[in-house]
Structure 1
Amino acid sequence: MSLAVIADIHGNDLALQAVLDDIAAQGIADIVNLGDCFSGPLEPGKVAARLTAMNIPTVRGNHDRYLVEQSPEAMWPSDRIAHGELLPAHLDWIRALPETHVHRGEFYMCHATPQDDNRYWLEEVLEDGSVRRKSLAEIEALAEGIEQPVILFAHSHLPAMLRLSDGRLMVNPGSIGCPGYDDVAPYPHKMEAGHPLASYAIVEKGAGGYGVTFRNVPYDHMAMAALAASYGRPQWASALATGWLGKSGISE
């Protein structure tokens, strides 16, 4: 049994199509989505049309929530761009998304953590902006009460896998459409994948248990970087072009 895990598309339809083609090439039909589908200066309307037609298990991310809880005037630019392209039916689709979901009785799904859709599960941000891995005890505390053997989560945009002391497997597939960003909470910091490829994960169940393969898929990322630049979003353009912030070299 194989399951493809996608997350953090952020309106990048070219990256999503490349990943879906790669999943199909692996012969995998079972796909789940961990949220943050649309917000970004790219092509959120196309992503919405594609995802709503697919009808795959999806949980709501923090940026999905902003699109239905905030007024456009109060939104950050990436959310405002997405909101302007989404149809009322797309917003209704977001409203219907659960915060958590259990897939096939084995896979627990959430966007960030079960308690907070805007909190890193594995990482801690320090006052100086550096990011470090939390202790195992801190990570396990957030997993209390989850009975499923595999925990799927996202939000940091950084692929990761670890086993808890009781054997449960945790998997972050990384981001399909946004390989780097900066944030101001809880302190100003950057998250950078270091490459511009579209990332997702495959979880396979075999006789010996669960295994994970991380896939990094090429696509026309420079087209998306140029689109972000045309919206006046240089950090987005840099991340899409290189996987790093501040290194795009794209004319704006």
Structure 2
Amino acid sequence: MRFAAIADIHCNCAALQAVLDDIATLGIRDIVNLGDCFSGPLEADRTGDLLLLLDMAATHTVRGNHDRYLLETPPANMGRSDSHAYHQLSPRHIEWLRKLPVSMVFRDEVFLCHATPRHDDVYLLETVSTDGRVFLKSQEEIEVLASGVEQPLILCGHSHIPRAIQLSDGRLIVNPGSVGCPAYSDEEPVPHKVETGNALASYAILEKTERGWAPQFRTVAYDHMAMSRLAAENGRAEWASALASGRV
């Protein structure tokens, strides 16, 4: 079995198209999408159109926390990134979001979720210190959050950090990184930044071998400066910096 995993597109249609083109060159047809498709000062409408086309092919998508916010939050109360996306999306995009599950099992062996199996807004693999440092959770903390999942491979997104973590029972957890948002700042649980330090689109290939699951992390170059300029034009300097450099 061999398939691609994408996550955290955040309205970056240019990055998504570059990743899909790269996947196609590898001859891979099956793609799983771990959510946060929208939210950002970019191109939600074009991203939505592309995702709806993918959904008619071999793509399996779960809903992210920002996808949920678009469904549950009154437009007047939305954050700036969610609001920008919401006002670009059409009813067919919203209806597609409504139908997405919060988690799913892919081909009996792979558990898909956006963040943790039970919460879409909690880091599965990372923790944030009281002074805003982001670092790897302890093995024990991760195993508690992954309890109850029987599949040998667990895929998550949310933190935008590519990682592969082996649990004591042999299960593997993989975060493919972010397709469209290489850096961001957040206020929860305390103010902190996540920075990859590059402007590349990130995803992963997962292959089942005789020795178990083997992830291959891939990064793809695209016209990130066009997206950086678009973010700046939309009044989002922090997004412009993130898209240009992978830092905020």
Q: TM-score, normalised by structure 2?
A: 0.98
Per the TM alignment, residue 162 of structure 1 is displaced from its structure 2 partner at its CA by 1.1
Residue equivalent to 2:45:
45
Q: What is the letter of the counterpart of residue 7 of structure 2? A: A
Counterpart residue number, 2:31: 31
- Describe the SS at the equivalent of 1:57: strand
Residue 110 of structure 1: how far off its partner (Å): 0.2
Query: Does residue 196 of structure 1 match 2:224?
Result: no
Which of 233, 236, 240 in structure 1 is aligned with 2:236? 233
Deviations 1:217-236 (A, max 9, x none): 00000000000000110110
Shift of 1:20: 0.1
Deviation of the 1:114 alpha carbon: 1.2
Residue number among 153, 167, 170 corresponding to 1:167 in the alignment: 170
Counterpart Cα distance in 1 of 2:210 and 2:188: 42
Structure-2 residue corresponding to 1:185 = 188
Question: What SS class does the counterpart of residue 68 from structure 2 fall into?
Answer: helix
Q: Which stretch shifts more, 131-140 or 12-21?
A: 131-140
Task: Provide, for residues 213-252 of structure 1, a one-character-per-residue CA deviation record: whole Å limited to 9, x for no partner.
Answer: 000000000000000000110110000000011xxxxxxx
Q: How far off is 1:115 after superposition?
A: 1.5
Q: Secondary structure at the match of 1:109?
A: strand
> Unpaired runs of 5+ in structure 1?
246-252
1:153: which partner in 2?
Answer: 156
Distance 1:59 1:164 in 2: 23
* Aligned-partner residue type, residue 174 of structure 1: G
**Number of corresponding residues:** 245
Q: Deviations over 1:158-178 (max 9, x none)?
A: 100011000001100000000
Q: How far apart, in 1, do the equivalents of 2:7 and 2:134 lie? A: 21
Listed one character per residue, the Cα deviations across residues 34-83 of structure 1 (whole Å, up to 9, x for unaligned) are: 00001110011001001011112100000000101011110011100100
* Correspondence 1:39-188 to 2 at 5 A: 39-55=39-55, 56-188=59-191
For residues 81-128 of structure 1, the C-alpha deviation after alignment (integer angstroms, 9 at most, x for no partner) is 100011111111111110000000011000000121000011111111
- Give the CA deviation at 1:133: 1.3
Q: What's the TM-score, normalizing by structure 1?
A: 0.96
- Separation in 2 of the partners of 1:54 and 1:115? 26
How many Å apart are 1:209 and its aligned residue? 1.4
Aligned residue in 1 for 2:4: 4
**SS of alignment partner, residue 86 of structure 1:** coil
Cα offset, 1:131, TM superposition: 1.3
SS of residue matched to 2:4? strand
CA distance in 1, matches of 2:132, 2:213: 35
2:246 match = 243
Q: Distance in 2 between matches of 1:50 and 1:177?
A: 14
Larger displacement relative to structure 2 (215-224 or 113-122): 113-122
Measured against aligned partners, the alpha-carbon deviations of 1:192-219 in whole angstroms (never above 9, x if no partner) come to 1110000000000112211010000000
| 1:157 aligned partner, one-letter code | H
Q: Does 1:17 align with 2:20?
A: no
Give 5+ residue unaligned stretches, structure 2: none
